Amino acid sequence: MSEAFDAVDVIRTKRDGGRFTPEQIDWVIDAYTREVVAEEQMSALAMAIFLNGMDRAEVARWTDAMIRSGERMDFSRLSRPTADKHSTGGVGDKITLPLAPLVAVFDVAVPQLSGRGLGHTGGTLDKLESIPGWRASLSNAEMLAQLEDVGAVICAAGSGLAPADKKLYALRDTTATVEAIPLIASSIMSKKIAEGTDSLVLDVKVGSGAFMKDLEQAGELARTMVELGTDAGVRTVALLTDMSTPLGLTAGNALEVRESVEVLAGGGPEDVVELTVALAREMLDAAGRTDADPAEALKDGRAMDVWRRMIAAQGGDPDADLPVAEHTEDVVAESDGVLTTLDAYDVGVAAWRLGAGRGRKEDPVQAVAGVEIHAKPGERVTAGQKLLTLHTATPERFDRARDALSGGIVIEADGAVEKTGIVLDRVAG
């Protein structure tokens, strides 16, 4: 067939600082999906976008073209509104686990299509697969039935959602163009808009353990994604949240499930509870449930009831014992003083090296591996006090995990840590 454009001309447009036409964008995404545009040509185009950017209209059209490369889900048959949450990823970020059943308490359906971990950031599906019997893969019919019956589902995204993004995502990882904000935003939002939810709350992480290291950069990403959602008719809001220190007191699969259950039981670490409730309020407000009190639903057991039904609906046993590591080692304080730094990235790398994460998407993970945290920044510690416990099924991993932590723990004799809330800013459409 005769092609409407030539890939070299499209590359040259952006290389020279020009604007794509809507027709150029539609063609290049479709042609790349059909393998008419070669990988090296899309690599050059991604670098041109990285260097010269895209404006709001270009990013919106790019996102729409990726959505149109695959199927769109439709939740209009459900008897309740839908609300979803997306996190840009961090260390110890188990918020989806208590959040989905908590929001569902208030007759809002939560279709949480989640992914697996790669590198130092954990994956929601990896965490839940530490529950005996639980399965991540559901058909669209099974997902809809569970949303109508239980109100919440956490499962793997089907291969039909934004297939162009799947190709481009892998390419960006190997061409040093991952950090291009237009491409990050369109990657996330193409999948979320195709998912068909009525409203979306974005948790944009900021800090050493996050993809975005500073507040200005994270704010630009948040604004771009909120604009994309708003332009597509999805009620969208973003919270910028702190990821300089691990979230909660665990980083690892079964460890994080256990902590999530503690939150659902009315306990758990203060920062996990704070963020879970803050995101729940945003989701409920977007869904029109402005009088709901998610904090109370955590305390009185209603969220736990939905969690148990959600896990059981996907074949899991909510009463089963979670797996426990055969091998543990403690990391202790080397001096007296105030713990001023517990670097999220370093803890995430340590958990990864212990077996909680993967270097390649096809690698297996250990359910039992991870890091348990006994002290957080701002706490006074004494020499020899236990700061962390490392968990793994393969003890030969301990040395490399300790190496990852070597610069990430700082104790100062007269140190002080400024206390701030976990939510740093909010961006609304």
Catalytic annotation on 86?
yes
Name the active-site residue from 69, 87, 130, 187.
187
Catalytic annotation on 6?
no
Question: Which residues of the chain register pLDDT less than 50?
Answer: none
Catalytic annotation on 165?
yes
Name the active-site residue from 30, 64, 84, 165.
165
Catalytic annotation on 199?
no
pLDDT tens figures, 10-28: 999 999 999 999 999 999 9
Name the active-site residue from 14, 80, 166, 172.
172
Name the active-site residue from 191, 192, 205, 289.
191
Nearest to 228 by CA among 269, 193, 272, 198: 193
Catalytic annotation on 172?
yes
Same fold, 83-157+191-320 and 327-412: no
Strand order in the sheet with 380-381: 380-381, 337-342, 409-412
> Could you tell me which CATH number the domain at 83-157+191-320 has?
3.40.1030.10
User: Would you mind telling me the total number of residues written for the chain in this entry?
Assistant: 429
Nearest to 122 by CA among 261, 321, 255: 255
Contact of 65 with 95, CB cutoff 8 Å: no
Name the active-site residue from 61, 80, 85, 86.
86
Strands 409-412 and 423-428: unpaired
Domain made up of 327-412: CATH architecture: Alpha-Beta Complex (3.90)
Query: What pLDDT shows up at residue 125?
Result: 93
Nearest to 79 by CA among 147, 176, 154: 147
Distances (CA, A) of 216 to 184, 200, 205: 15, 22, 12
Q: Where are the domains of the chain?
A: 83-157+191-320, 327-412
Per DSSP, the three-state class of 322 is: coil
**Rg from Cα positions in the chain:** 22
